Amino acid sequence: MSEIVKFLATVLYYVEKKNFPLAVAFKRAYLYNKPRKIDSNLLYDYSKRLILSYYALPQGKRSFKVRYWLENKENIEIKFPNWMEEKLSTLLDIKALKGKLKERWVWARINLLKTDIDKIYRELEGKNIEFESDKDFYYMIKIKKSSVRLSSLSIVKDCKLIIHDKGSSLVVEALKPEIGEKVVDLSSAPGIKASLYMMLTENRAEIFLADVDFKRLLKEYSLLKRCGVDLSKIHIIYQDSTKNSVIRSDKILLDAPCSSSGMINNDPSILLKLWDNEKIERFAKLQKSLLSESLKITANKLVYAVCSLFPEEGEKVIEDYYEIAEKPFSNYQSGYSLFKVGEKSNRTFPHTDSTEGFFISTLNLTKL
């Protein structure tokens, strides 16, 4: 018991004081305070549930909070910050959302630039990893159960199988990728979406990747190389996209910086950064600025997306463009009905789609 308390208190320390994502906090704690004879999957599940219950824990030292949680974990509910509870309860089934967050799932994409589907299926079956193929996208699979860390697999290390949420792949699919076209991605790092775009166009399109962080751009370039992307078709632009330098393109992707509130299933540490709504307001201002600037580019289509549950970052950002907005997918639910533009957008949720929470809308720029 004392070993588990020490381990979970260490995870909590890294999340609270160092602002580490859960995965990083867990890795650090596991490195220095690994409990003996306790399954790592169980430890991760405990760590995730502890952070999801953070706002329901009593005040006190971390060890006290951990002991309280361990003694009462079956009765402690997942709790969001009060303002978030109130906001989301008017928009979605918050009880269903919380219930789904207790589960663990992983989406992965078969990288057809480096392998084929049958080879990946055989590799996973050989490792006794339970998975199911996706009904919508032939290259997506959902990992249901694995006794090994996916990151330790050679097919993952070699970027033949890429951990990639299905909701994120929908953002790329909304562009309707076509061979021979040019696309600009105005907030491109870390590059997972760009690699999918190049896969879907068989390395026969050009993509202009812009980001404000040069180090992230370098990492993105390295990732694309490892993914088998033809780097001669990649153009790196180091810029603040609120002061965009691109003049024209066939299509534009604006997967804008956001609160990442749609990712709380994979990283519940995000909840600790959302103790008030100041972050939402700050991102909404940035998103509107980015969208306004991107519309100066001569192009046919723009896809706007955020990994956020909040309308301030989704529907409210594009509501002034209702006349040119189009719903990307007919087989996915619409945006929030409280907003007129909701009918011209899509939303995905953990509890309805087993994906991260995304907002996606297409703007038909030929109507401007």
Q: Does the pLDDT of residue 352 top 80, yes or no?
A: yes
Same domain, 217 and 266: yes
For 46, the domain range is: 2-79
> What three-state secondary structure class fits 276?
coil
> 38-47, 106-115, 280-289, 335-344: which has the minimum mean pLDDT?
38-47
Backbone angles phi, psi at 138, to 5 degrees: -60, -25
Same domain, 237 and 321: yes
Mean pLDDT of all residues in the chain?
A: 96
Q: Does the pLDDT of residue 220 top 80, yes or no?
A: yes
* CATH assignment of the domain containing 160: 3.30.70.1170
Sequence-ordered list of residues with C-beta below 8 angstroms from that of 317, at least 6 positions apart, any chain: 256, 284, 287, 288, 291, 304, 306
Q: Quick check: is 101 in a domain?
A: no
Looking at the chain, the whole-number percentage of residues with pLDDT higher than 70 is 100
Same domain, 254 and 215: yes
Q: Quick check: is 94 in a domain?
A: no
* Per-residue pLDDT tens over the stretch 161-170: 999 999 999 9
* Per-residue pLDDT tens over the stretch 27-55: 999 998 888 888 888 899 999 999 999 99
H-type helices in the chain, by residue range?
A: 2-17, 22-33, 40-52, 62-72, 82-89, 94-101, 117-126, 154-157, 166-173, 192-200, 214-226, 278-294, 315-318, 350-353
- Distance of alpha carbon 78 from alpha carbon 151, whole angstroms: 28
For residues 113 and 228, the answer to whether their CB atoms sit within 8 Å is yes
Structure tokens at 303: 């896809």
User: Which residue did the predictor score with more confidence, 279 or 37?
Assistant: 279
Number of domains within the chain: 3
Q: Does the pLDDT of residue 79 top 90, yes or no?
A: yes
Q: Does the pLDDT of residue 177 top 90, yes or no?
A: yes
Which one of 79, 94, 114 terminates a domain? 79
The distance of Cα 165 from the centroid of its chain, to the nearest Å, equals 6
Q: Report pLDDT for 196.
A: 98
pTM metric for this prediction: 0.95
For residues 319 and 339, the answer to whether their CB atoms sit within 8 Å is yes
Same domain, 244 and 173: yes
Instruction: Give the burial string for 28-39 (b: 16+ CB within 10 Å, else e).
Output: bbbeeeebeeee
Structure tokens at 170: 């929908």
Same domain, 176 and 130: no
* Per-residue pLDDT tens over the stretch 314-329: 999 999 999 999 999 9
Structure tokens at 98: 């919380």
